[in-house]
């Protein structure tokens, strides 16, 4: 069993198309989208239409929820850009998405952590910035979720960690946005250091244990950086070009 995981596409259709092309030569059995697919100053409706054509399981992220549960005037600039451009068909599609899903007895999926779509699972934010979460912090966020593989997104940071019970915890990173800044719960910056699109493939071995490959795919990032710039969003244009958040 080989499962490809994508997450945090954020309306970056060229990055997503490059990832799909890369998947095609790696012979995966299925594809899971872990959410935050559309929000941002790029191509939300075009990305939604592309995703609806795919035979994938789609989770909703915190941004899907935010696109639906508040008026545009109270949205962030990224959510408002997407909401104003999404068709009713696309909105209906995201209304059907959940932020957590048990795929099988040994595979659990979430956008953030098993307990919240807004919580980083494998990272912790402190007043000093973002860091790898401790084993205790991860265990608290996991709770009593039984699985041999747990996949999450949200932080945009590619990671693969092994819990003490043998469970593999993976974050495929972000397809569409390699760096950003946030102020929750403290101001922090996320940097991947490369404009590449990220995704992951997890494979189950004969003994039932999972392994993972974290992948980086090149694409025409300059066109998306220019689009963000034209929309007045250099806070997106800079990380799309460099992999580092604007400071």
Q: What is the pLDDT of residues 46-103, one digit of tens each?
A: 999 999 999 999 999 999 999 999 999 999 999 999 999 999 999 999 999 999 999 9
Low-confidence ranges of the chain (pLDDT < 50): none
Predicted pLDDT at 10: 98
Domain total of the chain: 1
Predicted pLDDT at 65: 98
Domain annotation covers residue 137: yes
Peptide bond into 185 cis (omega under 30): yes
Domain annotation covers residue 247: no
Predicted pLDDT at 47: 99
Predicted pLDDT at 202: 98
Predicted pLDDT at 62: 98
Predicted pLDDT at 245: 98
Domain annotation covers residue 26: yes
Q: Where are the alpha helices (DSSP H) in the chain?
A: 13-24, 44-52, 62-69, 77-85, 88-95, 135-142, 221-230, 234-242
Q: What is the CATH number of the domain that holds 86?
A: 3.60.21.10
Domain annotation covers residue 59: yes
Q: Which residues contact 224 (CB under 8 A, 6 or more apart)?
A: 12, 14, 15, 42, 176, 240
Domain annotation covers residue 20: yes
Domain annotation covers residue 171: yes
Structural domain boundaries, residue 170:
2-242
Gyration radius from the chain CA atoms: 17
């Amino acid at each position: 069993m080989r499962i490809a995981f994508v997450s945090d596409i954020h309306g970056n259709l060229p990055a997503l198309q490059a990832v799909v092309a890369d998947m095609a030569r790696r012979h995966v059995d299925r594809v899971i989208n872990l959410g935050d697919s559309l929000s941002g100053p790029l191509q939300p409706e075009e990305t939604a239409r592309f995703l609806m054509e795919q035979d994938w399981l789609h989770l909703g992220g915190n941004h899907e929820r935010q696109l639906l549960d508040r008026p545009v005037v109270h949205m962030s600039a990224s959510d408002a850009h997407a909401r104003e451009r999404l068709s009713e068909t696309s909105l209906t599609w995201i209304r059907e998405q959940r932020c957590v899903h048990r795929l099988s007895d040994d595979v659990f999926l979430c956008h953030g952590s098993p307990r919240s779509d807004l919580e980083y699972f494998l990272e912790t934010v402190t007043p000093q910035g973002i860091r790898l979460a401790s084993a205790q912090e991860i265990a608290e966020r996991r709770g009593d979720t039984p699985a041999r593989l747990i996949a999450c997104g949200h932080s945009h940071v590619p990671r693969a960690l092994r819990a003490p019970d043998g469970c593999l915890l993976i974050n495929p990173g972000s397809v569409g946005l390699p760096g950003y800044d946030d102020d929750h719960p403290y101001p922090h910056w996320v940097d991947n250091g490369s404009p590449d699109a990220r995704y992951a493939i997890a494979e189950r071995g004969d003994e039932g244990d999972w392994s993972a490959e974290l992948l980086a795919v090149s694409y025409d990032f300059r066109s998306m950086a220019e689009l963000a710039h034209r929309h007045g969003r250099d806070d997106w244009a800079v990380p799309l070009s460099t992999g580092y958040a604007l400071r």
